[in-house]
Amino acid sequence: MSSLLDIQDLKVCYGGIVALNGISFSVEEGQIVTLIGANGAGKSTTLRSIMGLVPITNGTIMYNGEKINGMDTRRIVQMGLVLVPEGRRVFPNLSTLENLKIGGYLQDKASEQRNLERVYDLFPRLKERYWQLAGTLSGGEQQMLAVGRALMANPKMIMMDEPSLGLAPLVVRDIFSIIKKVNETGVTVLLIEQNANVALRTAHQGYVMETGNITMSGPGMELLDNEEVKYAYLGKSR
């Protein structure tokens, strides 16, 4: 197996504040990898800097054998790397169908149709609601739409920023089973979560982040059994 995404010594500063203090990690092709950590650990910053939304201070980001730091977000999307942003961020003033179509903004007509069918297969609910304004969908449906919208870009790798945020436990379960299903179709997944339990259960590989550093790594189930992790993220008392 080769690394689809390889990050070396990534450093990001906001003004004088160091958000990422030279982190390194990699994502193998075909896997689900998760980054867990508390608020302010730098998880979102990691994803945003990979997408080129945040300028990086130092380090390299290799995707699919190409250096993508400093690249235009548009180019990165074109290369099949997409991000489902935190808080879903569907376009509330666009219909469900339009949201999906805009996810495939860089695709041609034929591939748009193909991707649309694939998304409707995964999320029959979105097909039922295609005419509805996205702002009127429920939280769970919006998350499905956000994932579906990302899949419209025909991605090789999809990054998700807290897909469980603000959703009921049952809906979270649904979302994660969909993430697994998406992964089984060959899409690599990088997942960011505060909900460490469900994330580690789903992931092949996990990394633990603390204030701009990666402090632990290992297979998901192994981290789940780790005493430190249990104490810090799974609510186990000492």
Partner 1 sequence: MSMTTILQHCLTGISLGGAYALIAIGYTLVYGILRLINFAHGDIFMMAGYFMIFALASFPWPIAIIITLTVTTLMGIGIERAAYKPLRSAPRMSIMISAIGVSYLLQNLSTYLFTAIPRGYPEIPFLKQIFQIGTISASFVTLLTPVLTIILVIILMLLVNNTKTGMAMRAVSKDFETAQLMGININRVISATFAIGSLLAGVGSILYFTDRMSVTPFSGTLPGLKCFVAAVFGGIGNIPGAVIGGFFIGIVETLLVALGYSTYSDAFTFLLLIVMLLVRPTGLFGEKTVEKV
Binding stretches for partner 1 (CB under 8 A): 51, 53, 73-74, 77-78, 82-83, 85, 89, 91-94, 98, 101-103, 105-106, 149, 153
Residue 93 CB, shortest distance to partner 1, in Å, is 6
> By C-beta, is 94 or 122 nearer to partner 1?
94
Nearer of residues 73 and 177 to partner 1, judged by Cβ: 73
Task: Let me know how long the chain is.
Answer: 238
* Shortest Cβ 208–partner 1 spacing (Å): 26
**Nearer Cβ to partner 1, position 155 or 206?**
155
Q: CA-to-CA distance for 140 and 163, rounded, in angstroms?
A: 10
Q: Where are the beta strands (DSSP E) in 77-232?
A: 81-84, 157-161, 188-193, 205-210, 213-219
Cα separation, 36 vs 207, whole angstroms:
6
Provide the token pair at 183.
């992964």
- For residue 106, the minimal CB distance to partner 1 (Å) is 4
Sign of CA pseudo-dihedral 159, 140, 206, 203: negative
- For residue 187, the minimal CB distance to partner 1 (Å) is 16
CB of 74 to partner 1, least distance (A): 5
Q: Which two tokens stand for residue 66?
A: 């190409």
Nearer to partner 1, 123 or 233 (CB): 123
DSSP code for 228: H
CB atoms within 10 A of CB 207: 25
Comparing CB distances to partner 1, the nearer of 67 and 74 is 74
